[in-house]
Amino acid sequence: MAAIQPPRCAVLHTPAWSIAAAILHEPETFHVAQPLAVFHAQRVLSCSPLAWREGVRPGQRRRQAQGACPHLVIVPFNADRDARMYEPLVQSIGTLVPLIDVENPGSLLLATRGPSRYVGGDDALAVRLLTLAREGLSHANQGLNVDEVIAAGGGLGVGIADGRIAATLAARSSSRRGEPVVIQPGHEATATFLAPYAVKVLTAVAGCSPDLVDLLERLGLRQLGDIARLSVTDLVGRFGAIGETLHRLANGTDDTPPSTIPPPPDLTMSRVFDDPLLQLDMLVFAAKALTDELGAYFHERGQVCTRVQVEAESEHGESSQRVWYRAEGMRSATLLDRVRWQLDGWINGTEPPTAGVTLLRVTPIDIRSDAGTQVGFWGGRSEADDNATRAITRVIGLLGPQSVTVASWRGGRDPREVYEMVCFADIGSADSGGVGQQLVLRPDDDADAAEWPGSLPAPAPAVVHHDPLLVEVTDVHGRVVAVNGRGLVSATPTTLLQHGQSYRIVAWAGPWPVDERWWDQRARRAARFQLVIEQSDGQCAYLAEVAAGQWWLTAEYA
């Protein structure tokens, strides 16, 4: 197979940009000398090198992270802040290179052919890019030591190589080493550079599904070199169409993400404003109509947009032009985020337009079919789901994150334990830019909800008392009924006493003993009963429990 030479690219990468952005944004609150970590949905998203040294790792739960580093300072996740703080850097590089691909705040890509010749070689370009980035940041944030801030964000890496994937990996290793990494042009050099990388990187840099990566690892293909050594025919034979893409990715001969398709030429959404707009809110509102329509277009076809160009033009002819890339694909909400970041950075940045914005244009560049994140049989989220998510997020804003919960199955013997209440705010995906991108937790299927040994047979009680009610159950002689160590009742229960009222027990079943967690402090030893009592308005059934000689009502079959 003839190797296609992919375009030579440079990637500028800061691993924990959120940290750097937080320090730049609020220098009084966050300091370089503190161990910092950004949390989203109770998990570490990124952390500063200082926190890393203390044992904090991305993906950890908040409690684990604070356990590893008690004096950890928590930085709230804010994608808008990250984007706004990144803008000066992008603008500064924009003075040298006109069209920049911003993958996300903290990482950008540019084609090096022109700039490299202009500056005098790749090495010179790498140094130049670093200088420009530093200049841009220190110009916008005077009075701060930008180098220290960048170091807290994991360093600023620049990598130049053939193709996007090699360049990205080069930039990642450069940010660790602290010097530019330039891979020589040519197929050989690129393949040699890529070979030792673990296949896991394909998820992060090429948008391959984690399932595929898992499969590759289980097949013993742990490094990109392992894949590159296999023939295309074998890969296609085993994996189908994706096999060919894998081969190209592993060899560094292709940088288009798997299965992208060029969009129809007329899929450009634009909007002209007769009255120029200068306020960000109004512009974003107008942009929402565009991105919603694009989102609906993709949704209908089961596609997502992986690369998009956003342009805005002011009345005086100034313009802001940027390409945004997201390997996981963009839908309406994520698209709108990109537009907002760009407009925010432009209007509130160092060189704002001198007149109102008259034109907004969104052009999809790469589209691929939506493979990974589709939920529900009928394809994706319904309007009702979006409305509900929006409304619930508003309720969370009013009442606090603990107040809205959803049920998640976890199993157990006690009706109180079978479902766990999970905060709705915690189940949003970490990369969600806006509302509506959150995943809704779905309880496991019936197959997983296998019977727990010792659980109560169906039906389940409709009212569960999380604080059991203290009662008394007596026999005909008025003595409290007890259960002995062998699980036998002392007498037939006949009367239930609650709040000074006595009720006749017409039917009862039990005792069903439980002896749980005897190995730790949460040990529970009890005997359970079902009691049916006679009330003025009919029968009433309860789930009762005897523990340490006390009777409790734990649930009611209301």
Partner 1 sequence: MSSVRVSSLSPSLSGPLSEMALSEMALSEMTLARERLLPVHQTLAPLFGLNADDPTPLALTRGHTVACVGSAAMSCALAVLVAPTRAGSWAGVVGLPSCGVQAAADLGVALERTVFVADPTGGSRTSGQQGDAAAALSALVDGVDVLLLGQRVVSSLSTSLLRRLQTRVQSRGGVLVVVGEAKSLASSLSADVRLTATTQQWQGVGLGYGHLQRRQVLLQLDGRRRARTTEQQVWLPDHQGQLSPVEKAAENTGVVIPLRRVG
**Hey, which residues between 127 and 156 contact partner 1 (CB under 8 A)?**
none
Distances 532 to 146, 468, 508, 512, 553 between C-alpha atoms, Å = 73, 17, 6, 16, 12
Please choose, from the candidates 380, 371, 363, 330, the residue with its C-alpha nearest in 3D space to the C-alpha of residue 263. 363
Please choose, from the candidates 144, 197, 167, the residue with its C-alpha nearest in 3D space to the C-alpha of residue 9. 167
**Hey, which residues between 450 and 469 contact partner 1 (CB under 8 A)?**
456-466
**Which position has the token pair 């985020």?**
337
Q: How far is the CB of 400 from partner 1 (least distance, A)?
A: 9
- Examine residue 291 and tell whether it contacts partner 1 (CB under 8 A): no
**Hey, which residues between 73 and 112 contact partner 1 (CB under 8 A)?**
none
Give the residue, chosen from 2, 28, 142, 272, that forms a contact with partner 1 under the rule CB under 8 A. 272
Q: Which is nearer to partner 1, 431 or 444 (CB)?
A: 444
On whether the CB atoms of residues 96 and 114 are closer than 8 A, the answer is no
Residue count at the site for partner 1 (CB under 8 A)?
74
Q: In this structure, what token pair is assigned to residue 369?
A: 């079919």
Give the residue, chosen from 144, 286, 371, 430, that forms a contact with partner 1 under the rule CB under 8 A. 286
Q: How far is the CB of 408 from partner 1 (least distance, A)?
A: 8
**Hey, which residues between 163 and 192 contact partner 1 (CB under 8 A)?**
none
Q: How far is the CB of 476 from partner 1 (least distance, A)?
A: 12
Span of 128-136, 219-227, 267-275, 347-355 interacting with partner 1 by CB under 8 A? 267-275
On whether the CB atoms of residues 267 and 364 are closer than 8 A, the answer is yes
On whether the CB atoms of residues 434 and 333 are closer than 8 A, the answer is yes
Span of 80-88, 93-101, 261-269, 307-315 interacting with partner 1 by CB under 8 A? 261-269
Q: How far is the CB of 456 from partner 1 (least distance, A)?
A: 8
**Hey, which residues between 413 and 452 contact partner 1 (CB under 8 A)?**
415, 418-419, 421, 424, 440-443
Q: Helices 122-140 & 79-94, crossing angle to 10 degrees? A: 130
**Hey, which residues between 513 and 542 contact partner 1 (CB under 8 A)?**
530, 532, 535, 537-541
- Examine residue 476 and tell whether it contacts partner 1 (CB under 8 A): no
Q: Which is nearer to partner 1, 300 or 520 (CB)?
A: 300
DSSP secondary structure, 56-85, as one string = --TT-BHHHHHHH-TTPEEEEP-HHHHHHH
Span of 4-12, 33-41, 232-240, 287-295 interacting with partner 1 by CB under 8 A? 287-295
Q: Which is nearer to partner 1, 442 or 479 (CB)?
A: 442
Residue 82 gets the label, from left (phi > 0), alpha (psi -120 to 50) or beta, of alpha
DSSP secondary structure, 97-139, as one string = -S--EEEETTEEEEE-HHHHHHHTSHHHHHHHHHHHHHHHHHH
Q: How far is the CB of 411 from partner 1 (least distance, A)?
A: 10
Q: What angle do CA 55, 57, 61 make, to 5 degrees?
A: 105
Q: How far is the CB of 397 from partner 1 (least distance, A)?
A: 8
Give the residue, chosen from 77, 297, 346, 551, that forms a contact with partner 1 under the rule CB under 8 A. 297
Q: How far is the CB of 473 from partner 1 (least distance, A)?
A: 13
Q: Which is nearer to partner 1, 38 or 418 (CB)?
A: 418
Give the residue, chosen from 214, 217, 234, 293, that forms a contact with partner 1 under the rule CB under 8 A. 293
Q: Which is nearer to partner 1, 5 or 402 (CB)?
A: 402
Q: Which is nearer to partner 1, 33 or 463 (CB)?
A: 463
- Distance, in Å, from the CA atom of 189 to the CA atom of 183, rounded to the nearest integer, reads 7
Q: Which is nearer to partner 1, 377 or 518 (CB)?
A: 377
Q: In this structure, what token pair is assigned to residue 49?
A: 């090198």
Q: Which is nearer to partner 1, 41 or 460 (CB)?
A: 460
Q: Which is nearer to partner 1, 3 or 404 (CB)?
A: 404
Q: What's the DSSP call for residue 198?
A: B
Q: What angle do CA 473, 477, 482 make, to 5 degrees?
A: 40
Q: How far is the CB of 466 from partner 1 (least distance, A)?
A: 6
- Distance, in Å, from the CA atom of 543 to the CA atom of 428, rounded to the nearest integer, reads 36
Q: Which is nearer to partner 1, 30 or 542 (CB)?
A: 542
On whether the CB atoms of residues 174 and 11 are closer than 8 A, the answer is no
Q: Which is nearer to partner 1, 489 or 546 (CB)?
A: 489
Residues 6+ apart with CB under 8 A from 474: 480, 481, 493, 494, 495, 497
Please choose, from the candidates 99, 58, 103, 89, the residue with its C-alpha nearest in 3D space to the C-alpha of residue 205. 103
Q: Which residues pair with 371 in a beta bridge?
A: none
**Hey, which residues between 364 and 423 contact partner 1 (CB under 8 A)?**
382, 384-385, 387-392, 394-395, 398-399, 402-407, 409, 415, 418-419, 421
Please choose, from the candidates 450, 428, 348, the residue with its C-alpha nearest in 3D space to the C-alpha of residue 91. 348
- Distance, in Å, from the CA atom of 330 to the CA atom of 263, rounded to the nearest integer, reads 14
Helix or strand holding residue 551 (H, E)? strand 550-556
Q: How far is the CB of 347 from partner 1 (least distance, A)?
A: 18
Helix or strand holding residue 267 (H, E)? none
Q: How far is the CB of 450 from partner 1 (least distance, A)?
A: 14
Amino acid at 24: L
Give the residue, chosen from 1, 4, 204, 289, that forms a contact with partner 1 under the rule CB under 8 A. 289
- Examine residue 503 and tell whether it contacts partner 1 (CB under 8 A): no
Q: How far is the CB of 528 from partner 1 (least distance, A)?
A: 10
- Examine residue 490 and tell whether it contacts partner 1 (CB under 8 A): no
Q: Which is nearer to partner 1, 96 or 406 (CB)?
A: 406
Q: Which is nearer to partner 1, 264 or 478 (CB)?
A: 264
